[in-house]
Structure 1
Amino acid sequence: MRPRVVCGIAAAVALFATACGSGGGGSASITAQPVPAAGYPVTVADCAGKETTITKAPTRIVTSNAASLEMLLQLGAGDRVIGTGFPPGKGTLPSALAEQGAKVPVLGDKAVPKEKLLGSGADLYVDTFGAMPMMGGGATGPSEAEFAAAGIQHVYLLSTACAGTPKAAKAPRTDLAGTEDDIRRLGAVTGTAARAEELVTGMEKRIGEVRTALAGVPEDERPSYFVFDFDAGTKQPVAVCGRQVANAVITQAGARNVFADCDADFKPGSWEDVVAKNPDWIQLSVRNRGSEEATRKAYDDAEAFLRSFPATQGLKAVQEGRFVRIGSEVTTIAGVRNADAVRQIAATVHPDLVKNGQ
């Protein structure tokens, strides 16, 4: 896989805010609870179309990072998670899930080491991105033969695992169908399909309300929008491209991602590119720092940079103070909270049409 920026959005999608900050977690084992027996077998495919058949509900699950961990927590299967890599940093999980998430043993502050994963006793490994050698997990993870020999079935979140591969759709992602499919797929795999439908229904309701509110706004009148990944560093901006889930979030929120036309999920950019786009709005995208005060300071620092940096201080959005303060975690990582991000962005860029929290 291509190299990725290690401390920013491109890292946040792999670590949900921990490779560049402090990790959370505990060491106590989690007792597996009774799981459903109906609804099996379930067959799911990877990015290349290779199928895996799950014959019974998994009881000992390892997740590759906090993105897939949060999805399992939302589905009510968190009590079956026995370990994770890239653990959630303090403050990154919703408050209702934070206590349970903190109890999940950390098998790796970054990627779970191959030997530890194979020896974990897991019967299912939920992989958010697949092999990512640049993220500190070693050159390769276990082969499918090694997973099979250890009795571990291997499934992916396709909305993120496939985004940077040749198999990904070439057109920009403009809706959250892929995220919703991942929730349903993981619900089927874990025997929590009914809960998955509840989550998807809730997402569609929130997004549908925004879509209805913005129905009268023509496409060419929707504001242009740039995601500024402050945590990636300021020497070179990272373009959030059309294949990334954030493009769908931005589109559903009634804005136009200025880098939607680059055929990738992320791509190194230049400040000259940003200046040429001259966006109407800029998202100050930072990781949750673990406290409201620290996170607010990170937003303040990001804004201060744009106001003082010669290349950006003349941008329309900077001159008019059009900044959107919303975290990396809910915009660039597939999950239930993408729907909340849609509403928050829409309420900021279309305040007369969309009211946040209503």
Structure 2
Amino acid sequence: MKLPVLALLLSASAALAEPVTVESCNRNVTFNTPPARAVSNDVNLTEMMLVLGLADRMVGYTGISGWKTLDEEMREGVAELPELSEKYPTKEVLVGAGADFFFAGWNYGMKVGGEVTPETLAPFGIKVYELTESCIHIGEKPKVAMADMYNDLLNLGRIFGVEQKAEELVAGYEARLAEVTAGVGGTDPIRVFVYDSGEDTPFTAGRYAMPTALIEAAGGVNVMDDLEKSWATVGWEPVVARDPEVVIIVNYGDVTAEQKIAFMKSNPAFAGMAAVKNDNFVVLDYVEATPGPRNIRAVEDLVVGFSEAREKLVN
């Protein structure tokens, strides 16, 4: 009886040792073994690593405290890990940490033509997996969808050999999303504007940024859906002209959500905007508005916020 059991164990071991290839933007990346010294950039990408139970495969994270703060949930998850760089890491930081894997994205730790890219890190044995949402910065991709976030979790699961965990998480997210949006539909989509930052000109989400998928799942439409970018700066004039009925405030950085709301409510140029007239503001934390595990929670908040906004608009 011992020989068949040993044979099965050897077979399972060989299967785990097989190379894994995943699609990362416009590249195929092959991993002969799971990474053991990973680095993630930004709070949302780091949280994807944590929900998959990969903290023990990481040597640190980058790009959080320079712009954002960690809430209690995240602080506990990364308590044993160092922040290697407050903002975008340099190549020297990643090499110095002995990293063998960098989970980042375009404008999420890497810049097109910058010093940290998949090509510049390859000679040092550091493989890169790129955030799906960010792929629009280097080529064409379909409009953003909740599937973009699911895709990243499933690919990370394959890369690190925790595929079953990833599949269970995604199945749970899909089921919860179906549950919270069960009553959505049957009415015209509510018009929504995403206000990230900026007073002279606002920084907002276009058709390739995750908030567009969150808004649509919750029964709304992004008034900047025709903006062929992910996150970008626009003028206030088209925002006013499209008269959003709800404004989503992305909460992070030195300017608080309350200050952003106060700015919009005190500016005469926005006085006629339906969202401002009816005080229809919904606040999402940065980690909810960018691709990651908290996207489902964000949709829940938006479903409630949109429902309350509709009541005010009717009355």
TM-score normalised by the shorter chain: which range applies? 0.7 to 0.9
* Cross-structure match for 2:304: 347
> Is residue 49 of structure 2 the alignment partner of residue 56 of structure 1?
no
Answer 1 or 2: higher relative contact order, Cα 8 Å, separation at least 6: 1
CA contact (8 A) 1:206 1:339 kept: yes
Q: Secondary structure at the match of 2:129?
A: strand
More strand by share: 2
Letter in 1 for 2:116: G
Letter in 2 for 1:149: P
Letter in 1 for 2:155: R
* Cross-structure match for 2:141: 168
Distance change >3 Å, CA 39–CA 277, structure 1 → 2 = farther
CA distance in 1, matches of 2:286, 2:22: 28
* Cross-structure match for 1:228: 195
CA contact (8 A) 2:205 2:224 kept: yes
> Is residue 91 of structure 2 the alignment partner of residue 114 of structure 1?
yes
CA distance in 2, matches of 1:259, 1:345: 17
Distance change >3 Å, CA 154–CA 284, structure 1 → 2 = closer
TM alignment of 1:206-225, pairs within 5 A: 206-215=176-185, 217-218=186-187, 221-225=188-192
* Structure 1 residues 168-223: Cα deviation after superposition (integer angstroms, max 9, x where no partner): 23xx33x30111011000111111212211221121112111332114x24xx121
Deviation at 1:102, TM superposition (A): 3.6
Letter in 2 for 1:213: G
Choose the corresponding residue for 1:152, options 126, 146, 156. Answer: 126
* Cross-structure match for 1:315: 273
Q: Name the larger-Rg structure.
A: 2
CA distance in 2, matches of 1:143, 1:223: 40
Deviation at 1:323, TM superposition (A): 1.1
* Structure 1 residues 320-357: Cα deviation after superposition (integer angstroms, max 9, x where no partner): 111112223211x111111110111011112599xxxx
* Cross-structure match for 1:205: 175
* Structure 1 residues 279-308: Cα deviation after superposition (integer angstroms, max 9, x where no partner): 11111222177xxxxxxx923222211111
CA distance in 2, matches of 1:288, 1:182: 26
* Cross-structure match for 1:22: none
CA distance in 2, matches of 1:343, 1:57: 34
Choose the corresponding residue for 2:259, options 284, 293, 301. Answer: 301
| TM-score (normalizing by structure 2) | 0.85
* Structure 1 residues 43-79: Cα deviation after superposition (integer angstroms, max 9, x where no partner): 012222x222111122111123332211101100012
Q: Secondary structure at the match of 1:350?
A: helix
* Cross-structure match for 1:263: 228
CA contact (8 A) 1:282 1:323 kept: yes
Letter in 2 for 1:45: E
CA distance in 1, matches of 2:248, 2:122: 43
Choose the corresponding residue for 1:68, options 38, 42, 45. Answer: 45
CA distance in 1, matches of 2:286, 2:74: 18
Larger displacement relative to structure 2 (251-260 or 237-246): 237-246
Larger displacement relative to structure 2 (123-132 or 258-267): 123-132
CA contact (8 A) 2:59 2:81 kept: yes
CA distance in 1, matches of 2:19, 2:78: 28
More helix by share: 2
* Cross-structure match for 2:313: none
Flag structure 1 segments of 5+ consecutive residues without an equivalent: 1-35, 290-296, 354-358
CA distance in 2, matches of 1:69, 1:143: 18
Q: Secondary structure at the match of 2:260?
A: helix
Deviation at 1:143, TM superposition (A): 5.7
* Cross-structure match for 2:286: 328
* Cross-structure match for 1:12: none
CA distance in 1, matches of 2:38, 2:308: 42
| TM-score (normalizing by structure 1) | 0.75
Flag structure 2 segments of 5+ consecutive residues without an equivalent: 1-13, 311-315
- Percent identity over the alignment is 29
* Cross-structure match for 1:7: none
CA distance in 1, matches of 2:309, 2:241: 28
* Cross-structure match for 1:26: none
> Is residue 147 of structure 2 the alignment partner of residue 177 of structure 1?
yes
Distance change >3 Å, CA 42–CA 308, structure 1 → 2 = same
Distance change >3 Å, CA 39–CA 348, structure 1 → 2 = farther
* Cross-structure match for 1:25: none
CA contact (8 A) 1:163 1:244 kept: no
CA contact (8 A) 1:63 1:69 kept: yes
> Is residue 279 of structure 2 the alignment partner of residue 279 of structure 1?
no
Q: Secondary structure at the match of 1:185?
A: helix
Deviation at 1:91, TM superposition (A): 5.0
Deviation at 1:128, TM superposition (A): 2.6
